Amino acid sequence: MLDAKIPAGPLETKWSKYKSTVKLVNPANKRKLEVIVIGTGLAGASAAAALAELGYKVKAFCFQDSARRAHSIAAQGGINAAKNYQNDGDSVFRLFYDTVKGGDYRAREGNVYRLAEVSAAIIDQCVAQGVPFAREYGGLLSNRSFGGTQVQRTFYAAGQTGQQLLLGAYSALQRQVSLGNVKMYNRHEMLEIVKVDGKARGIIARDLVSGKLERHFGHAVLICSGGYGNVFFLSTNAMGSNVTAAWKAHKQGAYFGNPCFTQIHPTCIPVSGDHQSKLTLMSESLRNDGRIWVPKKKDDNRKATDIPEEERDYYLERRYPAFGNLVPRDVASRAAKERCDAGYGVGASKMAVYLDYAEAIVRYGKIEASKKSLDHASEQEIIAMGKAVVAEKYGNLFDMYAKITGENPYETPMRIYPAVHYTMGGLWVDYDLMTTVPGLYALGEANFSDHGANRLGASALMQGLADGYFVIPYTIGNYLADEIHTKPIPLDHPAFVEAEKAVKGQLDTLMGIQGKHSVDHFHKALGKIMWDKCGMARNAKGLQEAITEIQALKEEFWKDVRIPGKQEEFNPELEKAGRVADFLELGELMCKDALQRNESCGGHFREESQTEDGEAKRNDDEFAFVAAWEYKGPSSSELHKEPLTFDIVHPSQRSYK
């Protein structure tokens, strides 16, 4: 039976009680305990820094050339925290409630409450590190709103919040490197978990510059390797984001939770051609002020600015008057798809909708005019002032849009379309963030934890930093307290030798195939299957087809992939090949999970399960559980169910009307 180990007692006191009763490790013993951290994004960098500060000996790994380049750097919009600085009715309970509801009642109450509880301390910590959040003229922190909530609780640093938070965590990490408490391994990729007597005791990593394999021991291993959205080939994730670390852990016995829960983000720049290598997100914060619309007439080929107001369909405001343009992501994405499928899409591909700032520019312009007592400002002057305000708030996003599309978003509405963005699924973890392998933990986007079937905007950064700064430093003690007598295991232990041999074997096989097609060829083919059949809308027939097609593609890959160069040198194609090999296996499991979950919830939309007006229809009687998959060999997995119970929040049909 899967035991999430949620502490007993009332929701509000679970975590404080846990903290005051959890086992501790004394400082002298901490120095003898080694922890391996895979990943230096928000989750990994914060965990590595916090554990090193406590006195543990930490080794941190990332595949980029610097820890500062982890994908968290790209997060734009902001980070949530229940500070209630705006005095608009926010509280820990409300953040908890919004998150459980936003996740369509597929997350654990205990975990989510803890997340909301520690959120405020994250902001304090980041400010103390010198993170330059946006401020008001009074010198206090500024907030903005994000989808799925009715309060302003999102802290931000222009459109670069992830960058600033990550640089804060990176600085803390570099400080520990300089103090000798962390040893940093850049340009290293973890390729296997080493287990001794059933416990995680180390890793095999490849030095990406020399191509050589290395063995590393740790009393515990933390997987902080991010999300797997790149299984779709095209996503908003960085090019290198991958599932390999998590997938190797899965094959070593860690269950994979809710693999099919994928978030498709509503506001991304549409695909422009076959050369497309990734998709660019336009931050959700743009929905604060922008209005989304399509023409009321099908196949309307007029320029956006030539379409009069009364011929525009602001479909989110029409369908969801209470939340309007700020409905959660899954709802906004499906609504865009619905309009485009029905023939109302815009742009050359007709697979786009407009995100329009004209009204916001005038509104801000008028506010400025009245601030400056310019009662007779001309329309042009108002627009100029409004543009300046919009530029201050969203300038870097507008510039990015202009560079990519060659269009000026201050003058014409932006074209946007949904794209794969985030994966709620990931390694199954208990309250301690431990996977089903003792000593093996998963943090950040790599775990399945807190977002249920749909993540609210600005909550991933919160979760990554909560896990790293404030949760793992306590929960890891619970395990390591019993490990103080475990001496470092010598690297010539058979478990290390075997693991390295297996990794070497796979690399040899890949290099030896010398087939006809590049790695990208297979990755693109996989992405197309996933997007068409396991994307924004899924049905049983499509998913069954997808499983068969992926199995065939996998076979072809192992017969026909071509990797140039040598194994023992800097070889990006070989790196990609290993990642795509794992994506092929993961893709199949995602489809199986989506097939099994014959209900719609959050980002998972099964066409068979919808309300009369096309909204996702949950089936709590049959599916109020976490699907935790156990690896049983190639194309074979066993489903375990962790039932979800709701004592405080009562699941209801989500309504944003």
Partner 1 sequence: MKLTLKVWRQQNSQDKGRFESYQVSDVSTDMSFLELFDVLNERLINEGKDPIAFDHDCREGICGACSMYINGRAHGPWHETTTCQLHMRAYNDGDTIVVEPWRAAAFPVIKDLAVDRSAFDRIIQAGGYISVNTGNAVDANAIPIDKVDADAAFAAAACIGCGACVAACKNSSAMLFTSAKISQLALLPQGRPEHKQRAEDMVAQMDKEGFGSCTNTGACEAECPKGISITNIARLNREFITAGFTSK
Sites for partner 1 among residues 151-190 (CB under 8 A): 157-158, 160, 162-164, 167, 170-172, 174-175, 177-178, 184, 186
Shorter beta-carbon distance to partner 1: residue 136 or 608: 136
CB of 586 to partner 1, least distance (A): 20
- Residue pair 617/608 in contact (Cβ under 8 Å)? The answer is no
Residues 278-337 that bind ligand FAD (CB under 6 A): 281
Shorter beta-carbon distance to partner 1: residue 277 or 373: 277
CA atoms within 13 A on the CB side of 494: 1
Residue 601 sits in the site that holds ligand FAD (CB under 6 A):
no
Candidate list 80, 99, 119, 125; residue touching partner 1; CB under 8 A = 125
Tell me how far apart the 2 most distant CA atoms of the chain are, in Å: 82
Q: Per CB under 8 A, which region of 58-66, 383-391, 602-610, 620-628 contacts partner 1? A: 58-66
CB of 581 to partner 1, least distance (A): 17
Residue 241 sits in the site that holds ligand FAD (CB under 6 A):
yes
> Which residue has the closest beta carbon to ligand FAD?
41
257 strand-pairing partners: 426, 628
Side by side, which strands form the sheet with 262-268? Answer: 262-268, 414-423, 353-356, 291-295, 312-313
CB of 538 to ligand FAD, least distance (A): 22
Shorter beta-carbon distance to partner 1: residue 46 or 252: 46
- Residue pair 550/526 in contact (Cβ under 8 Å)? The answer is yes
Site string for ligand FAD, 76-105 (x = CB under 6 A): xxxx--------------------------
Candidate list 6, 327, 400, 595; residue touching partner 1; CB under 8 A = 400
Residue 70 sits in the site that holds ligand FAD (CB under 6 A):
yes
As given in the structure block, the two tokens for residue 91 are 């509280």
What's the CA angle centered on 627, arms 587 and 262, to 5 degrees? 45
Candidate list 37, 42, 52, 427; residue touching ligand FAD; CB under 6 A = 42
Please state, in angstroms and rounded to a whole number, the distance separating the CA atoms of residues 461 and 272: 29
Residues 215-234 that bind ligand FAD (CB under 6 A): 224-227
Per-residue CA distances from 475 to 22, 52, 140, 441 (Å): 7, 15, 33, 10
Residue 162 sits in the site that holds ligand FAD (CB under 6 A):
yes
Which one of partner 1, ligand FAD, none interacts with residue 129, CB within 5 to 8 A by kind?
partner 1
Candidate list 11, 36, 245, 427; residue touching ligand FAD; CB under 6 A = 245
Q: Per CB under 6 A, which region of 6-14, 60-68, 321-329, 552-560 contacts ligand FAD? A: 60-68
CB of 17 to ligand FAD, least distance (A): 27
**Residue 494: is it exposed, middle or buried by C-beta count within 10 angstroms (0-12/13-18/19+)?**
exposed
Residue 573 sits in the site that holds partner 1 (CB under 8 A):
yes
Site size with partner 1, rule: CB under 8 A: 80
Which one of ligand FAD, partner 1, none interacts with residue 552, CB within 5 to 8 A by kind?
none
Q: What are phi and psi of 292, to 5 degrees?
A: -100, 130
Q: Check 106, 329, 339, 579 and give the catalytic one.
A: 329
Candidate list 42, 50, 260, 574; residue touching partner 1; CB under 8 A = 50
Please state, in angstroms and rounded to a whole number, the distance separating the CA atoms of residues 39 and 371: 47
Distance of CA 384 to the CA centre of its chain: 37
Shorter beta-carbon distance to partner 1: residue 129 or 544: 129
Q: How many CB atoms lie within 10 A of CB 378?
A: 10
CB of 172 to partner 1, least distance (A): 6
Residue 444 sits in the site that holds ligand FAD (CB under 6 A):
yes
Candidate list 412, 506, 518, 619; residue touching partner 1; CB under 8 A = 518
- Residue pair 133/164 in contact (Cβ under 8 Å)? The answer is yes
CB of 436 to partner 1, least distance (A): 28
- Residue pair 523/226 in contact (Cβ under 8 Å)? The answer is no
Residue-wise DSSP of 498-525: HHHHHHHHHHHHHHHH--SB-HHHHHHH
- Residue pair 624/644 in contact (Cβ under 8 Å)? The answer is yes
Give catalytic status of residue 329 as yes or no: yes
Site string for partner 1, 205-244 (x = CB under 8 A): ----x----------------------------xxx----
Shorter beta-carbon distance to ligand FAD: residue 75 or 561: 75
Residue 244 sits in the site that holds ligand FAD (CB under 6 A):
yes
Site string for ligand FAD, 177-216 (x = CB under 6 A): -----------xxx--------------------------
Shorter beta-carbon distance to ligand FAD: residue 356 or 450: 450
CB of 573 to partner 1, least distance (A): 6
Candidate list 32, 49, 68, 72; residue touching ligand FAD; CB under 6 A = 72
As given in the structure block, the two tokens for residue 301 are 């080929």
Residue 133 sits in the site that holds partner 1 (CB under 8 A):
yes
CB of 188 to ligand FAD, least distance (A): 6
- Strand (E) or helix (H) holding 266: strand 262-268
Please give, one letter per residue, the 3-state secondary structure of 286-330. Answer: HHHCCEEEEECCCCCCCCHHHCCHHHEECHHHHHCCCCHHHCCHH
Please state, in angstroms and rounded to a whole number, the distance separating the CA atoms of residues 435 and 421: 24
Characterize the bridge pairing of strands 291-295 and 262-268.
unpaired
3-class SS at 209? coil
Which residues fall within 8 angstroms of residue 228, CB to CB, at 6 or more apart?
241, 242, 243, 246, 423, 425, 426, 583, 586
DSSP 8-state class, residue 466: I
Residue 62 sits in the site that holds ligand FAD (CB under 6 A):
yes
Please state, in angstroms and rounded to a whole number, the distance separating the CA atoms of residues 342 and 9: 51
Which one of partner 1, ligand FAD, none interacts with residue 308, CB within 5 to 8 A by kind?
none
Please state, in angstroms and rounded to a whole number, the distance separating the CA atoms of residues 66 and 53: 21
As given in the structure block, the two tokens for residue 45 are 């960098």
Residue 418 sits in the site that holds ligand FAD (CB under 6 A):
no
Instruction: Point out which residues bind ligand FAD (CB under 6 A).
Output: 38-44, 61-64, 70-72, 74-79, 161-162, 188-190, 224-227, 236-237, 241-242, 244-245, 281, 421-422, 444-446, 458-461, 464
Q: Which residues are catalytic?
A: 329
